[in-house]
């Protein structure tokens, strides 16, 4: 341990994360680092595990299945990509959190599979920010409509919100988007819906996770800052 490139990168990212928490006056360790391992080999994910990273984020179910069996069973896997309803069964089997629920039809599919297995699945609602033509994410009003329907999905535990702001070089550009999501979170929390928790905010990636921490993120999803640049598919 200690000498792989991933161990060095993990130490740097965790250091920056703790520093951002301190700057923001937040408790040390209140933000969880989700290591995004899409396109990363199982071998390198295992290096990350040995470097002390224990929560991994994947965007493709099939790709994740090839790695999950090769990591210790204590590893936690979050799904962060666009989820097709026909993958709901596999998704509830292997992911402890599905961060990208953005429509009622997907919640229906997850509910069906989770209740069939007799389990409860943690989910975040993914909301769209910026006017970029991103494929995924509910509108803010759409997210409010979804939480009002929470009683239809007793096997899903709605824990908070997730968002992916448009990519820019300047992390400050993401700040208003992060802030808007936090305000939406507060607005939803104020509805006092008994089935809905709003404790989690998954905001921030390699370029802007420090700003996200300052704006209240509880989860940051970091890939390239840990594992290096990905092939063009996901750049
Ligand atoms: C790929 C991906 C990330 C990680 O992006 P980096 O810029 O490499 O840190 C985070 N969140 C989602 C949803 C992703 O698809």
Mutate to test the pocket of ligand 1, among 58, 223, 229, 231 (most ligand atoms within 8 A of CB): 223
Work out how many domains the chain is built from and give that number: 1
Ligand 1 centroid to residue 130 C-alpha, Å: 17
Q: What is the pLDDT of residues 156-182, one digit of tens each?
A: 999 999 999 998 889 999 999 999 999
CATH number of 73's domain: 3.20.20.10
Q: Do the domain assignments include residue 233? A: no
Between the CA of 58 and the centroid of ligand 1 the distance, in Å, is 9
73-83 CB burial, b ≥16 within 10 A, e <16:
eebebbbbbbb
**Residue 168 within a domain:** yes
234 lies in a domain? Answer: no
232: in domain: no
Burial zone of 84 (CB within 10 Å; 0-12 exposed, 13-18 middle, 19+ buried): exposed
Q: Could you give the C-alpha distances from 114 to 59, 157, 182, in angstroms and in order? A: 20, 11, 28
For ligand 1, atom 13: residue with the closest CA: 80
Q: Domain residues for 94?
A: 5-227
Q: Please indicate, yes or no, if residue 235 is contained in any of the structural domains.
A: no
Q: Is residue 200 part of a domain?
A: yes
* pTM score, whole prediction: 0.96
CB atoms within 10 A of CB 191: 11
Helix (H, G, I), strand (E, B) or coil at 227: helix
Instruction: Please compute Rg for the chain using Cα positions.
Output: 17
**pLDDT higher than 60, residue 2:** no
Among the residue ranges 75-79, 111-115, 130-134, the one predicted with the least confidence is 130-134
Test site for ligand 1: of 40, 55, 57, most ligand atoms within 8 A of the Cβ: 57
Residue 33 lies in a domain: yes
Query: Positive or negative, the Cα torsion across 73, 63, 219, 194?
Result: negative
CA 30 from chain centre, in angstroms, equals 15
Lowest model confidence (mean pLDDT) among 2-11, 26-35, 74-83, 170-179:
2-11
Whether the per-residue pLDDT at 235 is higher than 50: the answer is: no
């Amino acid at each position: 341990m200690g000498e792989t490139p991933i161990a060095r990168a993990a130490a740097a990212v965790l250091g920056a994360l703790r520093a951002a928490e301190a700057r923001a006056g937040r408790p040390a360790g209140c933000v969880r680092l989700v290591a995004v391992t899409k396109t990363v080999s199982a071998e390198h994910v295992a290096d990350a595990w040995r470097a002390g990273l224990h929560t991994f984020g994947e965007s493709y179910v099939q790709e994740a299945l090839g790695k999950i069996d090769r990591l210790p069973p204590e590893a936690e896997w979050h799904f962060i990509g666009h989820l097709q309803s026909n993958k709901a069964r596999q998704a509830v089997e292997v992911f402890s959190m599905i961060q990208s629920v953005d429509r009622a039809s997907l919640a229906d599919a997850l509910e069906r599979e989770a209740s069939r297995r007799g389990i409860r699945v943690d989910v975040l609602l993914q909301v769209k920010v910026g006017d970029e033509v991103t494929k995924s994410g509910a509108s803010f009003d759409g997210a409010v409509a979804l939480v009002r329907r929470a009683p239809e999905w007793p096997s899903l535990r709605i824990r908070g919100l997730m968002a992916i702001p448009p990519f820019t070089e300047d992390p400050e550009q993401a700040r208003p988007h992060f802030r808007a999501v936090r305000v939406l979170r507060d607005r939803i929390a104020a509805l006092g819906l008994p089935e809905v928790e709003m404790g989690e905010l998954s905001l921030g990636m390699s370029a802007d996770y420090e700003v996200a921490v300052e704006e209240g993120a509880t989860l940051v999803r970091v890939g390239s800052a840990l594992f290096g640049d990905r092939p063009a598919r996901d750049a």
